[in-house]
Structure 1
Amino acid sequence: METERTFWQRYGGQILLLVVAALLFSGSQLGRIGLFSEAVAADTAVTIPPTPIPSLEQEVTAAADTAVTQTNISLASLPVISDNSLAPLPNPHTYTARPPSHHFQTHVVTGNDTPGTIAEQYGISTDTLIGGNPGLNREANLLQTGAELVILPVDGVLHTVKPGDTLESIADLYGVPVEDIINYEPNNLEYPFFRLIPETQLVIPGASIGQFYFKAPKSVGNNSGGEQKWAVVGTGTFVWPVNGRCLTQFYHGFHPAIDVSTAEGSPVYAADTGTVTYASYAAGTYYDYGNLIVVNHGNGYETFYAHLSGINVYPGQIVNQGDLIGATGNTGRSSGPHLHFEIRLNDFRLNPLDRLSGPVKSCN
């Protein structure tokens, strides 16, 4: 072991020098081989004559000579590359309106019920009772035993949404603020869309069906003192406006008028002398009346003629007692051809039978 260590100490440096010399010799031989290859390549190179550059005319001629006839390739077999990176999702998330969620009480009519007692029982007005029951008709037998009535939780009207309705048009129709309709929670009108769904029903708080509150114009002119001026004044007595005496509906608090059954198109006469103040299809919340004529008799009395099929007079026209003014019909909220007739004194609805003479009978 000692002898082996003495050997490397004595001859290690020389051995290292020999290894380095061998590596240098090998590298020089490789370089000579590369130079020799380049020399051989240079000796055997072939001189290539320069290619002449053709003129423009020659290029055109050559292109025409070598032109290849195009082949019609069908595109149907080619793959279709579709980029859907910007296409909308097939089922985008859009706003869907919620229908109203009403939960109404109902009342089944008994033989002793009256509109007043039902309204009092539930703390609503008689007008709200009919406002919550669009199927009811002031011109028919409203309180039939066994009928089921909707009881609105607040005074108002149950409105069925029609195509084209907007919150603004409904609010204008009933004369209430839009906010009142929105703020009634079961209507489910959500900010910011407030979208309406046709054929659903909205509660219109504070609204009235309107018929009991309709007031025709009171004057066609005033005198110098600002008082109403009428060209004629009625007699204060009234004649029957139609020839029939068969009543389908008598006067009561829920129906402050009489309904006289007639064939459609029967003549309607002015019950007293006066001035026509309204002659048109009743608009807005008063659509119940249909075609309506109102005559002001200049002495506090007015007469109303509703559901007409024809109107033969115009506002401002003077009519005499017994003059033909229209024809009976079935327009507005009506259950069949008849005349709805009212007599009012200073806007209070009187029982017409207290002002008309002769016997009557019930058609029910």
Structure 2
Amino acid sequence: MTGVSMTDAQQAEAAIGRAERRRDPSMADVARESGVSGQTVSRVANGRTNVDPETRSRVVAAMRKLGYRPNSAARALRSGRFRSIGVIMFSLSSYGNTRTLDAVASEAARSGYSLTLMPLSSATQSDVSGAFDRLREQAVDGVIILIEAHRLNGADLELPSGLPVVVLDSSAQYEYPVVDTDQAQGARLATEHLLELGHRTVHHISGPQGSYSAERRAQSWRATLEAAGAPVPDMVVGDWTSDSGYRLGLTLASDPGVTAVFSANDQMAVGLSRAMHEAGRSIPGDVSLVGFDDMADSANHFPPLTTVHQHFDRVGVEALTALIEEIEGGVSDVRALVPTELVVRASTAPPRG
């Protein structure tokens, strides 16, 4: 059986048809479908308000029917804005960092911005500067930096010019806008709560050395004890993980003089709670325990954990508000400390006797 061959003209016509089917619909296609000018389609696509509602509805309906998507790159070239924010971040593993990132991402989406995440395995000055340069090449409008200050080896944060910057969870010594949870207030509330219950002093499991958050919480714990005239025990240092809390908890459990512990985060508090249980010391009967963060599982821990609540959502709002102000040409001098709250549950009680 002999096949039917196509003429050159038929082949060319078929190729043109395939190309047209593959071609994304254009603004001109939308204009023809909706019966308006290309200029009107452009105004609708760019969110302009000078289009009457009936015409806008007709243009939007045509866009949906044809599957037209406005060219964001072309809009950015016209406006000088990309509606994109870069985030430089050291660690994705800690609860505080992931919640802060989630808060920033939620507020960015609500404000019409996308995020480009630049995680770092280490956080030297050169690492941060390199990440900043890579983000600038990826066409972002501004950058949020979520790296604790002391990880930069004590050096001032110096970034190339050209992009607005907001720093989260850092010291207020930088020239950039800074947003942070009020670490000192949270530690003071935790320590005062245990002293007010009647405990002679409060032991502390700190976060790792080199962490700004851990340092601020430890400084405030110590200052609160000193202001109350209470003894200041030796501080033990963990690494934010429940494993470190368990290991250090075994040491604290062996000391009968330990009746109250403030843990610098909830994860270490969970590990310490296990260590106390294994050592035969009950919480809160023998030892009262306060954490920091108010993780979702803290209320369901046994016993439910008294802890310091951080308002990560407010941190995200403050950070995005400051950054967008900078992006839009303003000058933000924000030094925002978001307040904390003590959430009292069943892991704290007056000491025996």
TM class by smaller structure = under 0.3
Q: TM-score normalized by structure 1?
A: 0.22
Q: Which has the higher contact order (CA 8 A, sep 6+)?
A: 2
* Higher helix proportion (structure 1 or 2): 2
* Higher strand proportion (structure 1 or 2): 1
